[in-house]
Chain A
Amino acid sequence: MLWPTLNDPVHDSQRLFRQLLSAMSEPGTLHTLEAPSPPGGELGPALWGTLLTLCDLDTRVWLAPELDGPALREALALHIGCRLTAKPADADFALVTPAVLAEAREFALGSDEYPERSTTLLVALDTLEPAGKWRLSGPGIADRRQLGLGDAAGPLMSRLVANRDRFPCGLDAILTCGPRLAALPRSTRIEEVA
């Protein structure tokens, strides 16, 4: 079955980008993306919409083994034309689940001189709620914000908590669950509260 793409590539991708920009500039805020839903259900509309909006032949994408498959590869080749890489350290974007981050995979963190040369994680989650045990502060957050990501998000969050020690190097994450999306850039201070 053919994967869907944006009906109006120019205006749909602009609208989705503005939601991504808003999510990234106000970390932890939830956004609902109106994007086409791929068959299968591993990738929600928010994740697929993000790929369609940000990726093209200039980007290298790494696919986590549990999300990889011929249907996804065919859709990426047909609609996006991005290059795939087998090495996470070469990836501009990595399509992951939280469990993947429990493994010792080295994504690009950028360098002190060029911190932007880092991998952006595109994460498929089962839970993404505006309340929960992760407390956020930092740029884009007036006071504090909470985020609930479910128990499976542990390995992901321990990586993102570690961002602060390496700043300005680090990983930026776009978290998705179905049509919902939030972002956690490396500038965010993350605490686990009981």
Chain B
Amino acid sequence: MNGYNFAYLDEQTKRMIRRALLKAVAIPGYQVPFGGREMPMPYGWGTGGMQLTAAILGADDVLKVIDQGADDTTNAVSIRAFFERVAGIETTTVTPAASVIQTRHRIPETPLEPGQILVFQVPIPEPLRFIEPSEQETRLMHALEEYGVMHVKLYEDIARHGHIATTYAYPVKVDGRYVMDPSPIPKFDNPKLDMSPALLLFGAGREKRLYAIPPYTHVESLDFEDHPFEIQRWEARCALCGSAESFLDEVITDDAGGRMFVCSDTDYCLTRRGELS
């Protein structure tokens, strides 16, 4: 393995992360501090997710990495190549074939299965951070379950725009206790967090926090009785596979106003078009 330990991290670091992961799973939605290590790439590129992946990965795992749903973008390709090199493991782009999926800001369209683990890359793990900059204060707010300000923020959206304008990193409450940032996934993906059969792990490298949602856990998106939570909808279908159910990206095709909508999940789209077996 080119002189590296299996999966890059040393064993003591893996044990530290593993102990933190067990606590994170035991306290769903709570951010556990961990001794984040420097990874051979800058913060913001998924160092948190990579450390979690490195700590859980085994020689018989099959790894999939997606970036905004796509398997073929720089971040996804680089991280996949990294683990191929330092762990010598098999990788895939096919969602059902993967045992571990590291993701930047999407949940695959293909429903996850029991036994799969989804690892999210998280930039800012604290959902209250933009309301309260002090870590000491936000920690106390979580301890006291003092989440009123979060609803005030959503209410301000309604007052200004007539509807809740938060479209990504939409705050959720896990098992009726902790308010949690689901990472910048579109709110379209929020319903997939609720009662997911797969284990969901979240890693923030710069902030050195990790958290988890065990399988089959109630996760509700915050809302109001008269302004219930809603996901994005499109008038268009995917221009390539015709899906009316998936999350669509708008792609500009020329400089004359031409555009089309295509699935953000490349594996889902290619499979539907029959280009993958």
Contacts and interface: CB of A to CB of B under 8 A. Distances in A.
Interface of A: 9-11, 13-15, 17-18, 20-22, 24-26, 53-59, 92, 111-113, 115-116, 118, 120, 138-142, 167-168, 172, 185-187
Contacts of B214: 24-26, 139-140, 187
Interface residues of B, number: 42
A50 to B, nearest CB: 10
Question: Secondary structure of the B side of the interface?
Answer: mixed
Contacts of A22: 115, 199
A43 to B, nearest CB: 19
Interface centre among A21, A115, A186 (most CB of B within 10 A): A21
A9 B30 CA distance: 30
Contacts of B58: 11, 14-15, 18
A118 B32 CA distance: 12
Contact of B215 (A57, A115, A140): A140
B175 interface: yes
B232 interface: no
B197 to A, nearest CB: 8
Contacts, number: 110
B12 A172 contact: no
Interface stretch (B37-45, B138-146, B148-156, B179-187): B138-146
27 contacts: A9-B11, A13-B11, A13-B15, A14-B58, A18-B56, A21-B22, A21-B56, A24-B214, A25-B212, A26-B216, A53-B15, A54-B18, A57-B12, A113-B140, A113-B142, A113-B143, A116-B24, A139-B28, A139-B175, A139-B213, A139-B216, A139-B218, A168-B27, A168-B30, A186-B26, A187-B27, A187-B28
A189 B5 CA distance: 40
A92 B115 CA distance: 28
B25 A24 contact: yes
Nearest to B117: A21
A19 to B, nearest CB: 11
- Give the 6 A-B residue pairs with the shortest CB-CB distance, closest first: A185-B26, A112-B143, A140-B214, A116-B23, A139-B217, A25-B214
A8 to B, nearest CB: 10
A164 to B, nearest CB: 11
B57 A14 contact: yes
B256 to A, nearest CB: 52
Nearest to B143: A112
B140 A186 contact: no
Nearest to B136: A113
Contacts of B15: 13, 53-56, 58
B49 to A, nearest CB: 16
Given A18-B56, A21-B25, A54-B22, 14 more contacts: A13-B14, A14-B6, A15-B58, A17-B56, A18-B58, A26-B214, A54-B15, A54-B18, A55-B15, A58-B16, A116-B27, A139-B28, A168-B178, A187-B26
Interface centre among B26, B59, B177, B217 (most CB of A within 10 A): B26
B30 A115 contact: yes
Interface string B164-198: 00000000000101100000000000000001000
